[in-house]
A and B are shown apart, each in its own frame.
Chain A
């Protein structure tokens, strides 16, 4: 792998911390697409993005960006990446315009007019100190910087979490616009799964440092189903078919990707089947321990 057919190629990536391990994560992102990175808090989303940016060192595996080794060619790689960190920080004493001028020399492709235009569109006062901006406004500043040097890969860590709903929608539309030329790709982590419903082409799901799946959004929505029924249905050989189950007084709701097998074991009239949403997938897989997990990595 590592060809330019993929903008980002993550292979068997492992990072070990005390109390947390991101293990054997593999996926790839083709040019001109948006990939959403989802998972519960502490699933490893920020660690993965930090690994790609080279902020954190790999313990095993390989990351290639634009076909280049992300460590050995770190400058060439990062000059083509735009990033927004979860908590955007910058020198608070600098004004928006001055901060833009400080970042500009790092990027040969910096577009000053484009930056000023984006700052205006994002409602950023060029004379205002960054320290006096709210987190949402600092995220807007970071986005303006990320979009002002014609980045070919945008890495966004929870970019929409500090934003008001109107700007969040605007951001999502802008990201959709950014990939239209087919040269720019976006990888963004979020736990607001409705954002992914709107724009993501691919979805990568991490759970407790493990890759649960990395596939197209359509595939997720076609594979996963919510099943409701009486608690008596959860007999020994049926329960393992669910990735997650929530039981109540009047029955249960469970998430499954094994619908044909389930239908072979349970009468159709005894259960109600609905298509699952991304939020259902995240929610229900977080409700269980390892038992019953039959998820597969379909990225390769």
Chain B
């Protein structure tokens, strides 16, 4: 054992943030990365003809990536170990949001890419081809995807930090199902429309794509900030 002991200075800091992120990446088993990608790709022929199903496949991928590490931690009961390390709970929460945002971007890129790559091939299955451009090709469609992914993260993580993975997931499923049903009533149970209506399209038309992007990114930032603060508040009160 060498060198003079150096300690973390007292006070509030994000000490350990990079450590938590590196840990998140390390526990994402390479085999599982491959499996997630494979399942996502294999599901395409089944869902592709229905554009909304393809949309939800992309959101499902985002959900799987967001929930992977919390699920592993829950399954292997590593919560106590992680929170015994010199890292604030607020830092654990912040890193989880950061890795979730990265997961959503990865899922979004995958969704847009596979849409572009597979559409010409799979559209041949449709009689007469696709009538309108796919969501993945339009500004409004891509923005809708990220808005939905942001809502998913903003809803799921506070419940996870408050209740743990098991009960948190149940609460999230119940809550999001309820919200979807409520929102879908006026629009005839059309799922993306149920979630967001024609909000993005209307906003783009009304204020222009630039302002729409600004407003939506601002809204997403506000939702994530509020959700993050709630998560910190709840997680700091939770006994592990």
Contact = CB atoms under 8 A, between A and B. Distances in A.
B7 A80 contact: yes
B12 to A, nearest CB: 8
Interface of B: 1-3, 5-11, 13, 15-16, 18-19, 22-23, 26-27, 29, 72, 76-78, 80-81, 83-88, 237, 239-240
Interface of A: 50, 53-57, 68, 72-81, 83, 85, 87-94, 98, 101-103, 105-109, 111, 113-114, 150, 152
Nearest to A53: B84
26 contacts: A50-B239, A50-B240, A53-B83, A55-B83, A75-B10, A76-B8, A76-B9, A76-B10, A77-B86, A79-B86, A81-B84, A83-B84, A87-B77, A88-B81, A90-B78, A90-B81, A91-B78, A93-B29, A103-B19, A107-B86, A108-B6, A108-B7, A108-B8, A109-B7, A111-B1, A152-B5
Given A102-B22, A103-B85, A89 B10 contact: no
Contacts of B81: 85, 88-90
Interface SS of chain A: helix, strand, loop or mixed? loop
Given A72-B10, A75-B16, 10 more contacts: A73-B10, A78-B84, A78-B85, A78-B86, A90-B78, A91-B78, A105-B19, A106-B19, A106-B86, A106-B87
Contacts of B13: 75
Given A55-B80, A55-B240, A93-B27, A106 B10 contact: no
B16 A106 contact: yes
Contacts of B239: 50, 55-57
A81 B87 CA distance: 12
A150 B237 CA distance: 30
Contacts of A72: 10
Contacts of B23: 91, 102
The residue among A80, A87, A107 with the most chain B CB atoms within 10 A of its own CB is A107
Given A102-B22, A106-B19, A111-B1, A68 B84 contact: no
Given A57-B239, A106-B86, A68 B27 contact: no
B10 A68 contact: yes
A167 B80 CA distance: 25
Nearest to A66: B7
B237 A91 contact: no
Contacts of B6: 108-109
A79 B8 contact: yes
A106 B6 CA distance: 12
Contacts of A78: 84-87
A105 B18 contact: yes
B18 A94 contact: no
Contacts of B10: 68, 72-73, 75-76
Contacts of A90: 76, 78, 81
A81 B83 CA distance: 12
